[in-house]
Amino acid sequence: MIAAMEKFILVVLGSDATATPVQLRKLGIAHVDSLAGSGEAYSTLERRLVDAQKAVSLLTSIPRAEVGASSATGLAGEAAIGRALAVDAEIASIQAEQGTIVSEMQRVKGWGDFDPSLVARLAEKDLRVRFFEGPAKKIKDIAPEVEFFRVASAKGNARIVVLGDADPSNAFLPFTPPRESYSSFAGRLKALELKQASLRDELAALARGLPSIKKALERIDADLTIERLRSGMPCEENLRYLTGYVPSKDAPKLAAEAKRRGWALAMGEPGDDDQPPTKIENPKAIAIVQPVLDFLGTVPNYREYEISGWFLVFFTIFFAMIFGDGGYGLVLLLAATAMAAKAKKAGKPAAPFNALLFVLGGATTLYGFVTATWFGLPFEALPPLLQNLSLTALNGSNPDSGTNTKILCFIIGALQLAIAHIKNVKRDFPQLKALAQVGSLCLVVGMFNAVLNLVVDASRFPISGAALGLIAGGFLLVFVFGNWTGKLGSSLAESLKGIIPTFLGTVSVFADIVSYIRLWAVGLAGIAISQTVNGMAVQIMGPAAGRIVAFVIGAVLGLVLLLAGHGLNIMMSVLSVVVHGMRLNMLEFSGHLGMEWSGYKYDPLSEMAEEDTTVLQE
């Protein structure tokens, strides 16, 4: 459920403006409206935050293998942040210098390895030496009085060394000698590579202190929030004030604190124009779905539905049908068990995602029992026990199992959409506009019959008169009461203006129910991939009666193929759940609920938890 909120206005003396945000943070219940900070202290904290974010991004990008092989530097927190950025800047400088050296080496490579200082020493003895490059065929055009000799060069080109001040023909371009020899460049490049490797090792060592750096980032961010409130707090003469929201159940705590501190406080129910934050309060059994909602980044508006429970129920069904294989469900259960064991060994409670994985894995395994689908094996190859535990209507022995699965998809779709409109009826009752939701519910039921007729089997599911009556009656109710203003005439006038959207909305009910066929289609694709992998593995393994060595090699290769193929299929199924399973909840279901997911999270000022910030990781 979404916790009720109260809006507050807190007024303090100007002399208390510095301490008040900190005191609110200690209280830990006030969601304060954001303000624009200013001042040197605020700018400094912003720069520190940017530096910390850069350091975290930099150190997080270091491969885990490199981090594990390094030793800690002894630096933690902001000291480690500063050093990480300094090392990164030094590496960037080295890379720039390396680029310059490599470019210069490529330029002079053709002239061989010589000491450029010889040119200067010859000049001191009144012997001027200059270098030129040009086409080999133009050598004959050089005037006889020009003294020169050729050095090794690529075919078609000529490199010449000219003695004295005379210039060769215009076809030859002067070459500027390098400042040092080619071997000297190579030596410098090697030294820079060693130095860069050493600096990268230092970064890897700093990465072992990433927890303390992240904790420092959180502290800086918390300090920045406080400074933003301090410097941005609006003022009237000698008074400063803050606005925000507090959960209704915590309002007495804020009132008591205001009385103790001598603050002026006004609280009340948010107005229609206010946009309070959303605080979700669910039992643990339902809260396990929160990681999925966090992944999606969706938050219901304060005045919208909180559908975590329905989301969990239908997401679990969608997940099981899209994975569609009891064997994969067992794999997920094993993964969930391993995660729980690891958490228990570390003395930590299991994460909500761990519990969710148990639920999803269990549902997928159960669906495997119902449909007799286990790692894509044919129904005939399964043990009799697994065959007998399945439903004949849905297992592989029934040629109509695909059709029956489609019907199941449409039943689930119609049920979910019907639940959405039942909730809307409950919300709008006893106002007459609730009848529009009754009309939408009638459309869902009537269109369900139409979907079975047009998509599954027209002879098996003829469109009944009752279904046509529900569709017509539903459209009429939506048309009359969809824009209800309290007066029939003005309501009908509004509906006439939107007759086309109303008609299209009626048609979209059909499309939304059909959309649930994706559960059958994606699940079928996954089974097809499993069967293909199994077939390829059987071909590689060959008959057991073959030569022993060949059979063993084939068995190993086949096992690798099975693991890789089914592993890839599991990953693709996860992607399919993200694309299709979540879509049905976030678009079809939410659309019929009228939800826009336009809310933002309740984020009260609160103290950071004191945790171990040791530099070393496990």
In this structure, the chain runs to a length of 618
Q: Measuring CA to CA, which residue among 3, 57, 41 is closest to residue 245?
A: 3
Question: What are the extents of the domains in the chain?
Answer: 1-35+233-279, 37-106+185-232, 117-177, 402-516
pLDDT for the residue numbered 479? 84
Q: Categorize the per-residue pLDDT at 615 as very low, low, confident or very high, splitting at 50, 70 and 90.
A: very low
Average pLDDT over residues 42-68: 87
Is the predicted pLDDT of residue 571 greater than 70, yes or no?
yes
Q: Measuring CA to CA, which residue among 396, 437, 367 is closest to residue 592?
A: 437
Helices (H), 69-181: 77-108, 117-124
pLDDT over 90 percentage in the chain: 33
Average pLDDT over residues 122-132: 85
- How is residue 615 annotated by DSSP? S
pLDDT for the residue numbered 582? 79
Is the predicted pLDDT of residue 616 greater than 50, yes or no?
no
Residue 421 in tokens:
């409109």
Average pLDDT over residues 243-259: 93
Query: Assign residue 2 a region: left if phi > 0, alpha if psi is -120 to 50, beta otherwise?
Result: beta
If you average pLDDT over each of 18-27, 57-66, 341-350, 536-545, which comes out highest?
18-27
Model pLDDT for residues 527-558, shown as the tens digit of each residue = 887 778 777 777 766 554 444 555 555 556 66
Q: Categorize the per-residue pLDDT at 617 as very low, low, confident or very high, splitting at 50, 70 and 90.
A: very low
pTM of the model: 0.75
pLDDT for the residue numbered 548? 52
Sequence-separated (6 or more) residues with CB below 8 Å from residue 148: 132, 142, 160, 161, 162, 163, 168
Which residues partner with 278 through β-bridges? 601
Say which CATH class 1-35+233-279 falls into: alpha beta
Model pLDDT for residues 404-418, shown as the tens digit of each residue = 999 999 999 999 999
Task: Indicate the residue type of 492.
Answer: L
Q: Categorize the per-residue pLDDT at 197 as very low, low, confident or very high, splitting at 50, 70 and 90.
A: very high
Average pLDDT over the chain, rounded to an integer: 85
pLDDT for the residue numbered 65? 64
Model pLDDT for residues 452-477, shown as the tens digit of each residue = 999 998 989 999 999 999 999 998 88
Q: Categorize the per-residue pLDDT at 450 as very low, low, confident or very high, splitting at 50, 70 and 90.
A: very high
3 state SS of 559: helix
pLDDT for the residue numbered 546? 44
- How far is C-alpha 599 from the geometric centre of its chain's CA atoms? 19
Q: Categorize the per-residue pLDDT at 489 as very low, low, confident or very high, splitting at 50, 70 and 90.
A: confident
pLDDT for the residue numbered 618? 30
Cα–Cα dist 203/205, whole Å: 5
Cα–Cα dist 217/577, whole Å: 34
Average pLDDT over residues 284-306: 88
Q: What is the β-pairing status of strands 235-236 and 147-151?
A: unpaired
pLDDT for the residue numbered 614? 37
